[in-house]
Amino acid sequence: MSQIEQIWAPWRTEYILQPHKSGCILCQKPQQKKDKTNLILYRGKGNFIMLNAFPYNPGHLMVAPYRHVAKLEDLTDAESKEHIDMIKLSIKILNKAVNPAGFNTGMNLGRIAGAGIDDHIHSHVVPRWQGDTNFMPVVAKIKVLPQALSESYDILKEGLRKVVS
């Protein structure tokens, strides 16, 4: 069985064709202080929330510590607590902004477990709706994403404002 491919909107071509950079994006992106460009939705003391650049669904968020940590057990107690609190905040934001019917949340620890970035832990928060998967992944091995990342970012940023105000 081959992997599911993704169809991207034409405006994503610039991102896809950019040179592959070395290093850890979960370390680099927060240091750049270009939150909208880097899809960083919220910053805490030890963790941050960002949109996944290769989402399973529109609004797919990731929570990651600023510190480069490969193992969950190496987080400090403060980082662990804030990490869980940010997963909860992510769910509140998504509920307010896009009202999903449910969520998939979790971590892929290690490459063999499916981690695309296996040396910097992060949690996924994926909003789900009835019928959000269809025949395309089964028949064509293609995932159709109906919303641009920049549009998702703006909608979720407004949801964040409503949740934290």
User: What residue ranges do the domains of the chain occupy?
Assistant: 5-11+36-164
Residue range 5-28, pLDDT digits in tens:
555 544 445 545 666 667 899 999
Residue in 60, 83, 122, 124 annotated catalytic: 122
Note if the pTM is more than 0.85.
no
Residue range 29-79, pLDDT digits in tens:
999 999 999 999 999 999 999 999 888 888 999 999 999 999 999 999 999
Is 20 noted as a catalytic residue in this protein? no
Helices 77-98 & 149-164, crossing angle to 10 degrees?
110
5-11+36-164 folds as HIT family, subunit A (3.30.428)
DSSP class per residue in 3-48: PPEEE--GGGHHHHHSPPPPS-HHHHHHHTT-TTTTTEEEE-SSEE
